[in-house]
Amino acid sequence: MDLDLIRRRHKWLTLIILFFIGAVFIFGMGSFVTDFGSFSSGSGGTAAEVNGQEISLSEYVRARNNMRREYGDREGGLPQAAVDFINVSALNQLIDLKLLSQKSKELGFRVTDEEIAQVIRSVFQIDGQFVGTERYQSIVQESMNEDIGAYEQSVKEQLLAQKLGRLIEETIMVTDEKLLNMYNLQNEKINLNYIEFSNADISDIEEPTEQEIDRYYQSKKADFKTTELREIRYIILEPETFENGVQVSQEELNAYYNAYPEEFQSEEGATLSFEEAKGDVESNLRSQRAELNRTEFLDNFGLSQGAQSSIDQIAKDKGIEAVSKSSAFAQTQRTGDIPPQVVDRTYSIDEGSLAVVPIGTSIWVVEVSDVSEPREKTLEEIKPEIIAAVKNQKSKNQARTKANQALAKLRSAKNDEISEKAKELGASLEETGPFTRVDRVPSINLEEIKSEAFDIDKKGTVLSRVYESNNSFYVLIFKEKINADPLDFETQKEELREQELQAQRNKVLEKWLQNLRREANIAPNYEIFPSQG
């Protein structure tokens, strides 16, 4: 039976529990986050003890591997940080499951043999039919590497935890009034007027003095550095390079032709004679030998890390007359004659070192021939940039000052005088357009505006401060509030109810698990899960 099918069928059971556990399965486990879980199988051993009850090693391995599959791990494709997270998370889920099942039993919940059998019959099916007791036991013992008793005990624990989850669910209620408040908060909109003061609008900026230029340079000196530049010497090995010197004997030609006659046929389907096919036979053999030579070159270079040959010797061996040399380039360079892959590799090795970079069918062999280390730029080198920065700062300060002056005048005006006062300031009122609490603020895109703006409900009220974004400053005025459509509430009510129920369930279960962990005796196997403290 396909084990992936078993896992999919078994998933319904754990989803109900993990639905609650998912947000909280990391509590209390931060002391052994990495460097465990290198084992891959085995039915013996203990991963942890929870209040004296064991979590078996095989149970942990199965949970960990299932989670890796869920995260899309294919042949070690996950980064180490993700692997570490999964390792900890898998054990945490099992600990939380153990705690919940223990608490469920303490509260008087019980699981009958028939309930366990019903789960097993629903999970171990083919074409809707239970596979039978013998086949079920074979799958658990041989394919899942699990003892029957231990497996059925784990099913029992999951059912116990599920019953506790139902108890928690039954204690939670969400009223229509609360849902309506949620709906209104999510869907009501506001519209703002605003005046923008941008440094780009400030034209009468004085040229900075030499003292201002020097002061700015000294304050930012550490930031003004040249970019590290590197130069390389390189050769490019094309596929035909590896055919140089390849010799094919007559015996090899005959052997190949006799072994693969089907490769050498005329358009009519007749097998070509050896003489007719000889050129193709030789070409095929030379290509195969060349590919073998290419593979051996890469393998040998990887083993020696380029230490046994110089780039000049490699060029000579491959029949390349001259080694090319690049001009200096930065790590951020993504255009020009040097491919980005070569640029990146060049910046990962030391001066004088060699590296090979396969690109398509070609192989670049590169040597870092020169490294120009970053240095602080002199004032003269950076002076035009400093002048522009000082002028930009001055214009920005002026724009900020104008915005604060406008804010003071508008906040002292009556609400019906706002538009007139704006005209007196030589400014025009722009409009953001309506937005909700989860939308970006149109035209301005400042999230911090919302916390104040949604608390205002009187037209013409000026927000309490100037808001800054990049080189612009904004004075904002409340224009209107647009209430949520009550007709849409009825269509969304049940979906909102389920969202809120789920959020409340998670909160309640989080508290339960925090308390259970605080009172529990949890002992991970530190031979397998070494402490990081």
Q: How many CA atoms lie within 13 A of 193 on its CB side?
A: 17
Distance of CA 204 to the CA centre of its chain: 47
On the question of pLDDT at 244 being above 90, the answer is no
**CATH class of the region 189-221+380-482:** alpha beta
In single-letter form, the type of residue at position 193 comes to N
Give ∠ CA 16-508-93 in degrees, rounded to 5.
Answer: 45
Nearest to 315 by CA among 231, 369, 232, 236: 236
Query: Is the Cα torsion angle 97, 102, 106, 111 positive or negative in sign?
Result: positive
Domain covering 3-172+509-524, topology: Triger factor/SurA peptide-binding fold (1.10.4030)
Gyration radius (Cα) of the chain, Å:
36
Tokens of 66: 């299932």
The beta strand positions in 109-188, using DSSP E, are: 125-126, 129-130
Measured CA to CA, the distance from residue 283 to residue 123 in angstroms comes to: 57
Can you tell me whether residue 113 is helix, strand or coil?
helix
390-437 residue pLDDT tens: 999 999 999 999 999 999 999 988 888 888 888 888 888 999 999 999
Distance of CA 85 to the CA centre of its chain: 13
Q: Are strands 189-198 and 229-237 parallel, antiparallel or unpaired?
A: unpaired
Model pTM above 0.85: no
Tokens of 54: 């064991």
Q: 430 has which bridge partners? A: 194
On the question of pLDDT at 378 being above 60, the answer is yes
203-223 residue pLDDT tens: 888 899 999 999 999 999 888
Domain with CATH 1.10.4030.10 in the chain: 3-172+509-524
On the question of pLDDT at 304 being above 60, the answer is no
165-204 residue pLDDT tens: 888 888 888 888 999 998 998 999 999 999 999 988 888 8
Scan for tokens 């942990």, then name that residue.
60
DSSP string over 27-49 = TT-GGG-SS-------S-SEEEE
Measured CA to CA, the distance from residue 126 to residue 383 in angstroms comes to: 78
Scan for tokens 């046929």, then name that residue.
265
Other C-beta atoms lying within 10 Å of the C-beta of residue 261: 13
